[in-house]
Structure 1
């Protein structure tokens, strides 16, 4: 059957190339999670693996230029979240993921979200020191956005009672953990600004895991802090804990107790405050440098994906594949020839003159033993037969008859068997078992 003339006839290469273009444009960037399997890291430095879940899997590749930024080396069976684009490996027509970023699942996902939001807000200027408001010189009333029953408010009240009992404290109670916590925190910050009844706000909670503190890493809280007209001190968790709220707030306190000390008048704390500001400035500067470096790296990666170098990467992947196949084929041929040499060696040993001589010698010894056994048997049979014949001969011997009381009478050496052969006057010789008797016939009497 012939095709209609207006049909478009594709080559396989062209079809794969256009499918690749469509997929890369339609899935330019996506995030997905899965389990790593079939992980391979050839000498080229690229990573090849499969990403799977309970029902399906997809092949993936992570080029050397991207995986060098990965903070850990993936292993088979680990759950990861990746940022990737969909592409096609044209030589085989396999569609695959080109992974640009990889992080462990679980806490790794939260860290990835943290870093992504951190870079986004930093790029928008929410962390800028120019926007941060100084604390008032005279603080008379303090607002606290936290849980009304948590450890944070107890620590804050305890410090303020000890250092500055004259200060008034207004509590804006809110959830500090869970899905609804972020929205409530943002709402309480906005409420305090509308009322404008305090000089400074402390926003925070006690320590916990990354998941426990996550409400203070939400964008809605960050933007509420940024929009606040009241100076805000972020006091989330312990000293080692860092949240997005810490970067956006006008000031960060290591703990809720430290925040209470910052807002309570104490001359000895002024030096520590200056040092903390210096430390935060250095951190912010370093974060800004890191953020710009990462931004440049991302731009370079994007440029690389659109550069002819991406085609080179496809060819390098093909080279890696062919190299692996060549290595397996060489190992197979080597094993095959090695087995052939072993077989020929065994056959050579079987036909070696020394082995054949040894086998002939062994066979000769067996024949000698068999010949000796045969001769011994033959001689024994002859001896047995001789003994039998001697016994039979002895049984018919005249001497044996004589020994039983019989005698033989002869005349002139002729055995006398009838009286008709005898004559009077002839001499008889009687043979007994132990000798002879000679007599003369005087008379003959017949029956």
Structure 2
């Protein structure tokens, strides 16, 4: 078997990068900004994420100068970016070329996607356009019957040609139901076939207000109309898909009314409008050619020194950011080290140890005092109890109940008559004192 070629890591990353950039090229992406960094070089580095995934992005200063918003973490944005690979790390990343807020940006993206789709299907081609009749007797108007647009149209028609008949096909022109109303009104006008030309439009407003005229169902209803159609949506600067599909675009509803009631000058203006449409078609073709040229330039730019320089700048920015973080962390450690050493020194200082010993001695003294007090209290209670018990068996208590104790001159207790003789001196102790007496005689008990 032939020996297989073994790739170096740099060769692999280069091949993967070429595949990504040549196959995917430019993409639109909506996501939430996180880890945003504005480098000192002027470049931006960030991540775009949703609930499941995230991707690293870079936006170089030549492009981010044109951004009208101030990016910040947590912000939802819509970006146009080139899919690429950062070769030094082998990281998949996006090179952002355009950034805008997600709300209006998503609508514009939907508008562009549907526009491209309808354009590829041929709905904008000139050979599908019908000629606006030169002699018009009846004009149909698809719009809101209570809006300012219908009043402007009727006013202009009456002023320029009072003999014209006007038929209103009422429809909502704003909200979720509007697209169905407009499409149905166009269908109804074609089924009745009672007008020479059909005006479709409304007054000006925001992109959201005019969105019904960017819906596919409305564009296809206009394209399928057998009646000549004039799109008159918003102001002159407003452009909707209805304008591209209709047989003719009027900058305003009033201008549409002037077209259908045009005199010689207006017909000349119509020729100018046709020329403008031809110019627009040529411009579209030119843009497609430019797009193809841009793709070739992009592939060529991958080996351009400027591209290599941008990669080196990105790597330099990354190393600078890592160095700044390392220095900041080291400075923080050095800042807290003296405090740590001071705390250790204070803990080992004799004064601190003396204070600890004094606190310990005070604690032991309090324990000893408490123990002595408890012991003294216990001894007092025991002594009181013993005194009480002693009092119970004391002879004094017996004497207090009316008894007495007799002793001889030697203070010996006399317990029997045998302990005394007649004429002996004795002492009798009673409760409140001592009685000195002399024995006159003794007498035994009869029981003895």
Category of TM-score, reference length = shorter chain = 0.5 to 0.7
Q: Is the 8 A contact 1:148 1:171 kept in 2?
A: yes
Unpaired stretches in structure 2, ≥5 consecutive residues: 1-8, 332-448
Aligned-residue offset at 1:328 = 7.5
Say if 2:69 and 2:101, in contact at 8 Å, map to a contact too: no
Match of 1:186? 183
Corresponding residue number in structure 1 for 2:287: 290
Matched, 1:75 2:83: no
Match of 1:32 in 2: 30
Match of 2:197 among 200, 204, 212: 200
| Residue 156 of structure 2 is aligned to residue 159 of structure 1 | yes
CA deviations on 1:419-440 (whole Å, 9 max, x unpaired) are xxxxxxxxxxxxxxxxxxxxxx
| Among candidates 260, 264, 268, match of residue 257 of structure 2 | 260
The verdict on how the C-alpha distance between 1:46 and 1:203 changes in structure 2, with shifts beyond 3 A counting, is same
3-state SS of paired residue (2:201): strand
What pairs with 1:95-174 in structure 2 (closer than 5 Å)? 96-97=93-94, 99=96, 102-174=99-171
CA displacement at 1:201 relative to structure 2? 0.8
Secondary structure at the residue paired with 1:112? helix
Other-structure match for 2:272: 275
Deviation at 1:213, TM superposition (A): 0.7
2:245 is aligned with 1:248 = yes
Question: Alpha-carbon deviations, 1:372-399, whole Å to 9, x = none?
Answer: xxxxxxxxxxxxxxxxxxxxxxxxxxxx
CA contact (8 A) 2:28 2:78 kept: no
Distance 2:47 2:176 in 1: 33
CA distance in 1, matches of 2:155, 2:245: 27
Q: 1:332 to 1:35 in 2, by over 3 A?
A: closer
Q: Which residue of 2 aligns with 1:229?
A: 226
* Residues 69, 329 of structure 1: alpha-carbon distance in 2 compared, 3 angstrom cutoff: closer
Aligned to 1:391: none
Structure 1 unaligned spans of 5+ = 1-12, 336-447
**1-side partners of 2:72 and 2:55: how far apart?**
14
Aligned residues: 324
Written as runs of structure 1 = structure 2, the 5 A alignment for 1:323-402 is: 324-325=321-322
Secondary structure, aligned partner of 1:108: helix
User: CA contact under 8 A between 2:33 and 2:46: conserved in structure 1?
Assistant: no
Q: 1:110 to 1:282 in 2, by over 3 A?
A: same
Aligned to 2:236: 239
Q: Distance in 1 between matches of 2:132 and 2:139?
A: 11
1-side partners of 2:119 and 2:152: how far apart? 31
- The CA deviation at 1:106 is 1.9
State the partner residue of 1:353.
none
Report the CA distance shift for 1:133/1:296 in structure 2 as closer, same or farther (over 3 A).
farther
User: TM-score, with normalisation over the residues of structure 2?
Assistant: 0.57
Q: Contact (CA 8 Å) 2:218, 2:242: kept in 1 or not?
A: yes
Change (3 A) 1:82 1:167: same
Mapped partners of 1:72, 1:241: distance in 2: 21
Deviations 1:86-131 (Å, cap 9, x if unpaired)?
A: 8876765766555565332222332333333334433443333332
Which has the larger Rg?
1
Given that 1:36 and 1:75 are in contact with CA atoms closer than 8 Å, whether structure 2 keeps it comes out as no
Instruction: Decide whether aligned partners of structure 1 residues 40 and 102 sit closer, same or farther in structure 2, where only a CA change above 3 A counts.
Output: same
Separation in 1, partners of 2:180, 2:97: 32
Q: Distance in 2 between matches of 1:205 and 1:236?
A: 5
Q: Distance in 2 between matches of 1:332 and 1:143?
A: 74
